[in-house]
Amino acid sequence: MNEDYEYPYPSPELASEHPFITYEHERLTEDVMLDRSERFYEEMNRRRSIRMFSSDPVPQKLIETAVKTASTAPSGAHKQPWTFVATQDPEIKRKIRVAAEKEEEKNYLENRMNKEWQEALAPLGTDHHKEFLEIAPWIVVLFEQRYEIRPDGKTLKNYYVKESVGTAAGLFIAALHHMGLATLTHTPSPMKFLNKILNRPENERPFVLFPVGYPLEGVKVPDLKRKDLPEIFTTVL
């Protein structure tokens, strides 16, 4: 069915100044779409945050593919304001663990996290020990680029940075789970130490740290229940 748009996109003027291509889309039957959506939901519903990893090696190619998938995320003005920094170096992972645990000790043992926060975390049983940072074969840190630095030293503003980077993080997690790996979103706030350890520039800020690997055989996770659809979804008629 042809739609009669008063303001078509792109306008002839825009198309004459910037390149556009036709979006290739295969329209599926509703039955096929429903089947695909339900299978993807069931797969993602099995995803869990893992806190005990196997030390078995993971090929770098898998990490790279997950990052490429994450990089397909939409971003403000298509600035793609993210950098994924990955390491499997034991010495670097050790430095990250030591620095992260130092901050987490303040959070958990010196009451930098208030009582309500700690009560919310209690069912998860988390504490300041982050042994997985050394055992997981990979640590991947996602940095948000607060602004862009051009080769000539000029700086340019990035837009909707946190929204863009958050979307990329979600795709990265989904890609890892889809390929059979596991991860955990770790945010040992404050995380500025990651800039120093990983030698990142001033325009980048740590957004989230992902230990990545295979789950340790027999690993347990909290028996949590996700919210039912009516609790998170509504329609406006």
Positions in the chain whose pLDDT score sits under 50: 1
pLDDT tens digits, 41-99: 999 999 999 999 999 999 999 999 999 999 999 999 999 999 999 999 999 999 999 99
Do residues 57 and 135 touch, judged by C-beta distance below 8 A? no
SS3 237: coil
Cα(96)–Cα(90) distance, integer angstroms: 10
- Say if strands 155-157 and 182-183 run parallel, antiparallel, or are unpaired: unpaired
- Considering only CA atoms, which of 218, 224, 137, 226 is closest in space to residue 183? 137
CA dihedral 18, 164, 194, 141 (to 10 degrees): -90
Quickly list DSSP for 146-215.
Answer: SEEE-TTS-EEE-BSHHHHHHHHHHHHHHHHHHHT-EE--B--SS-THHHHHTT--TTEEEEEEEEEEPB
Residue 47 CB coordination number (10 Å): 14
Cα(162)–Cα(46) distance, integer angstroms: 26
Q: Which residues on adjacent β-strands are paired with residue 213?
A: 182
Domains in the chain, please, with CATH? Answer: 49-215 (3.40.109.10)
What's the one-letter identity of residue 211? P
How confident is the model at residue 112, as a pLDDT?
85
Whole-model pTM: value is 0.94
Cα(134)–Cα(92) distance, integer angstroms: 9
How confident is the model at residue 2, as a pLDDT?
58
Burial status of residue 136 (CB atoms within 10 A of its CB: 0-12, 13-18, 19 or more): buried
How confident is the model at residue 1, as a pLDDT?
46
